[in-house]
Structure 1
Amino acid sequence: MNYAPLALAALLAACSASPARYTVPEVEVAGPRVPSIYGTVALREVALPAYAASEEIHFRGPDGALASAPDVLWADDPTRAITGDLARALGRITGATVAAEPWPFFDRPAATVEIRVSDMLAEADGRFRLTGQYFVAPETGRRTRSGSFALEAPIAAPGGPAPIAAARGQAVRDLATLIARDGLR
């Protein structure tokens, strides 16, 4: 008996049982450049709430409870991914050299940015919500800055993991724009 078709069927069954993983698509940085007063910026690892730091994609149900599906996951560690996405977006928006910590260069950065996210999830009404605070600490001579953010991005119909991932990308880009405009100028 030829076992190749059985092996292939078993392999396909195993693949279909594995969770689906979703990446966040690259979001264009639109609009004019927002120059930074800092030529170099270190971005600390973004602090996420426990549910947002997990692999599972969370959403708020109509009853207000947070839920997730264990078979639908982010493709990358959310903390690492959001930190990297923000560093790239801040660099594109400001023209500064921006890198996530640990700082990879010999010279110290001119400023360090810290972000603490308090809420990051898909809402039942079709919006992706990103809220929290940011802090800008200059190395020397300039005043520190901080601010709160409450950003929303629409989740394209009919919803689901891929549109949630796209909305997350938009919200993170909008956060980078806000920090560039209000914290790094």
Structure 2
Amino acid sequence: MIKALSLTLPLAVLAACAPANDARYLITADPGEKVANLRSRTIEVRLISLPSYAAASDIVAEGGGGALFALGGAQWADDPARGMAAALARGLAERTGASAAIEPWPLNTGPDARLDVRVDQAYARADGVFELTGQFAVSSPEGTVREFVKRFDIRTPVSGQGPSATADALAKALAELARQIALAM
């Protein structure tokens, strides 16, 4: 009994010293309305290119003076580049009816279209707005769809404080990005 207690007590002390907020937040895209059917029946979404602060696992927001700070030890539940690409693929599939998957392409026959997204900015600003800016390019390995590059500048409200509000704002921004891409295709 004393031996068991002597082992349990140090574990309890270590648990008490652990960070209070080691929560992980999913990267999702809010559902959206269906758009007209595309000529592309299959879309490969490449891993999203992110700036280093957005590619890190910490969830960041702008603080005083414009500096970016990690939000209380909160982290993304997935690698941000992969998580955003997967959320975008789901959003495109829901909106267009096309089969969308992240790279590497899982089928023997190549995709009709390949989507490459490069993000310039992705963070919760101090003024309560989430900013997602960059460009997306649609290429066609088989020449079945028109190829193009287009810029995006999306701003969504951050409703509340902390990492869950930032995650919700990112979900809205990714949903809007999926809508813009679907309309452009």
TM above 0.5, one fold?
Answer: yes
Query: What is the alpha-carbon distance in structure 1 between the residues aligned to residue 14 and residue 38 of structure 2?
Result: 52
Query: What is the alpha-carbon distance in structure 2 between the residues aligned to residue 8 and residue 91 of structure 1?
Result: 47
Query: What is the alpha-carbon distance in structure 2 between the residues aligned to residue 116 and residue 86 of structure 1?
Result: 13
Which of 143, 146, 155 aligns to 1:143? It is 146
Residue identity opposite 1:118 in structure 2: D
What's the counterpart of residue 37 of structure 1? 39
2:83 aligns to what SS in structure 1?
helix
How far off its partner does 1:58 sit?
1.4
What's the counterpart of residue 52 of structure 1? 54
Which of 152, 169, 184 aligns to 1:167? It is 169
How far off its partner does 1:73 sit?
1.4
What's the counterpart of residue 131 of structure 2? 129
Query: What is the alpha-carbon distance in structure 2 between the residues aligned to residue 69 and residue 89 of structure 1?
Result: 27
1:118 aligns to what SS in structure 2?
strand
Which of 23, 27, 31 aligns to 1:28? It is 31
Residue identity opposite 1:154 in structure 2: P
Query: Structure 2, unaligned stretches of length 5 or more?
Result: none
How far off its partner does 1:9 sit?
2.1
The number of residue pairs the alignment matches comes to: 181
Matches within 5 A, 1:1-185: 1=2, 3=5, 6=9, 9-10=12-13, 12-13=15-16, 15-16=18-19, 19-24=22-27, 27-29=30-32, 31-69=33-71, 71-138=73-140, 139-157=142-160, 159-182=161-184, 184=185
Query: What is the alpha-carbon distance in structure 1 between the residues aligned to residue 25 and residue 145 of structure 2?
Result: 40
Alpha-carbon RMSD across the aligned residues, in angstroms, is 2.0
TM-score using structure 1 length:
0.89
How far off its partner does 1:144 sit?
1.1
TM-score using structure 2 length:
0.89
How far off its partner does 1:150 sit?
0.5
Q: Is the 8 A contact 2:159 2:165 kept in 1?
A: yes
2:66 aligns to what SS in structure 1?
coil
1:63 aligns to what SS in structure 2?
helix
How far off its partner does 1:64 sit?
1.4
